[in-house]
Amino acid sequence: MKSIVNYTEAQREIFKAGWELFNAQGIRKTSVEQICGKANFSKVTFYKYFKNKEDFLYQLMEKEYTKAMVEVDTIFSLDESYKSRMNRLVHWKLAQLDIWKKPFLDDLIKFGAPMIAFLQKWSSVSTQTFVEFIRRGQADGEIRESINPQFIMDMLGSLIQNIYSENGLLHRYSWDEMTRQLLDFFIYGFMGKECGE
């Protein structure tokens, strides 16, 4: 697991400006000039740290994903019950969904094969982290041993695709209802009685 990098003040301000602009108007509509103007730094300073806007985007994504994984690892490492840690994880994940805005996400997905590979790499890392969390819960007796962690991850992947699709879950449930149902499923569905009991 990578640790969070200590960025310079200029890098932090440029990242913050880019993040805000990407979320407001998308990646494609945001120029280096706009990022520099919002950050109050010159293009010379920008190019001191980043080769171009694409390099900036990848470094920004690397920074955000590394930060997210450190936060998830922190939640999973707490000396609390599985139920409490899962509750924290679901609330953390929902807060993340509020941070990433539609214009940014729409452009990110359309950015091409290298970005898709980058996102798949991080998805694989986060999936493995969650699978390990489930296995630790099984070893500690907090999660039923019959639960297949990879099946759960495959199911979650399908669920996430469904949430935003036409006629998906967001068309039938509010965020609050989805959160409650997910918590009930993950906390009580995993820890309830075995099938046939």
The pair phi, psi for residue 106, each rounded to 5°, is -60, -45
Axis-axis angle for helices 82-99, 175-184 (nearest 10):
150
Count CB-CB contacts under 10 A for residue 120: 10
Where do we find the tokens 């998830």? 72
Helix (H) or strand (E) holding 42: none
Where do we find the tokens 């995993």? 190
Half-sphere exposure of 174 (CA within 13 A, CB side): 3
Per-residue pLDDT of the chain (197 residues; tens, 9 = 90+): 555 678 999 999 999 999 999 999 999 999 999 999 999 999 999 999 999 999 999 999 999 999 999 999 999 999 998 888 888 887 887 788 778 888 888 888 787 788 888 888 888 888 888 889 889 888 988 888 888 888 877 877 777 677 656 777 767 877 667 766 776 676 666 555 443 34
Instruction: Give pLDDT, residue 77.
Output: 92
Closest CA to 9 of 35, 38, 41, 37: 41
Q: Which DSSP string do the residues of 88-127 spell out, in sequence order?
A: HHHHHHHHHHHHS-HHHHHHHHTT-HHHHHHHHHHHHHHH
Q: Which residue segments constitute the domains of the chain, with CATH numbers given?
A: 59-191 (1.10.357.10)
Helix, strand, coil shares of the chain, percent, nearest 5, are 75, 0, 25
Global pTM?
0.78
Residue range 35-54, pLDDT digits in tens:
999 999 999 999 999 999 99
Count CB-CB contacts under 10 A for residue 82: 21
